[in-house]
Amino acid sequence: MFTMLLNRHKARVKKWRTRLGLGEYEVFWMGFGEGFLIASILSFFLLQIISSCNFEKNYSILESPKTILYCIKHNSS
């Protein structure tokens, strides 16, 4: 199953790479940039939730990871 998915992904990447005229190096950098962008967006939103919880309820993030989960659960509802 995984091999079939991997082969399909390779075929699609190769098709788009030739269609756009990109080299392997350029595709690798595009993948890095995409991963960096997604990680930056997710960390921004996570930090917004944590900071809003700290300002409103005076929780210390360093006390326990459970306080972070508590903040996420109570701010999302």
Which tokens go with 45?
Answer: 């939103």
The pLDDT tens digits of the residues spanning 4-42 come to 999 999 999 999 999 999 999 999 999 999 999 999 999
Residue 64 has pLDDT above 90, yes or no: no
In whole angstroms, give the CA distance from residue 45 to residue 3.
35
Residue 49 has pLDDT above 90, yes or no: no
Question: What one-letter code names the amino acid at 12?
Answer: R
